[in-house]
Structure 1
């Protein structure tokens, strides 16, 4: 009998809270998506992961801590979870409207659009929070 319980593959991976860590995580995600035969999600899921990790290292990761990433296979796509070290009570990420001349501030708006509003934030065991987003194939 087939199981319907999702499995985390790979287990949470810790990445440096740096632009290079974001780059490495994105390439790891692309390899995992290819393994799951979901390469058509690579661009969208990679962009979502990039935005969530960038927010984590800029706003949610204490100095010297790493950013955790977990990717969960879900029907028609993947759920990307970014674990940081700053508690939810200290500030949850929120959608904002960036001024037209701003160089930053559109990341979560982009995530919201790319995931059709399927993202959120939750507490986690231990310090920090989880910011997650679900990316699905266009037909889903």
Structure 2
């Protein structure tokens, strides 16, 4: 069993809607997980934040997207990306000919289904919980 963290441990950054923001989001997650001693989550976390930030960058709905990582327990984190588009993500079954459409399914797999999206007045936040035991 993992213990809950007292107080909020989180970091976030506002990034422009540009392709290079995806690598900045990956660096944020990598550095923060190292600070928390959660190196075993880095690979999956970088895939997740890459997918979420790429999806946000494609919307181009606002000037900035917000990328955050919060420590939920000693061994679990939540990655969040907020953008200015109110269209919620859906998991689709992409076939071998599709060039995209696999990101949310990949996030679903890596998180064991612990992900979701919240609609906001001016956009949405997509979150993914990593390291959560069902």
Instruction: Normalising by structure 2, report the TM-score.
Output: 0.88
Select which of 107, 112, 115 maps to 1:116.
112
Give the strand-richer structure, 1 or 2: 2
Cα distance between partner residues in 2 of 1:26 and 1:6: 24
* Aligned position for 1:24: 24
Contact 2:88 2:119 in 1 (8 A): no
Q: Which runs of 5+ in 2 are unaligned?
A: none
How many residue pairs get aligned? The number is 130
Write out per-residue CA displacement over residues 13-47 of structure 1, whole angstroms, 9 at most, x where no aligned residue: 10122221010110111000000000110000110
Pairwise CA distance, 1:123? 2.5
CA RMSD across the alignment: 2.0
Structure 1 unaligned blocks of 5 or more? none
Moved over 2 A (4+): 3-6
Alignment of structure 1 residues 1-140 onto 2, 5 Å:
5-10=6-11, 12-59=12-59, 61-62=60-61, 65-75=63-73, 76-87=75-86, 91-124=87-120, 126-136=121-131
Q: Could you tell me how far apart the structure 1 residues matched to 2:85 and 2:34 are?
A: 32
Q: Normalising to structure 1: TM-score of the pair?
A: 0.84
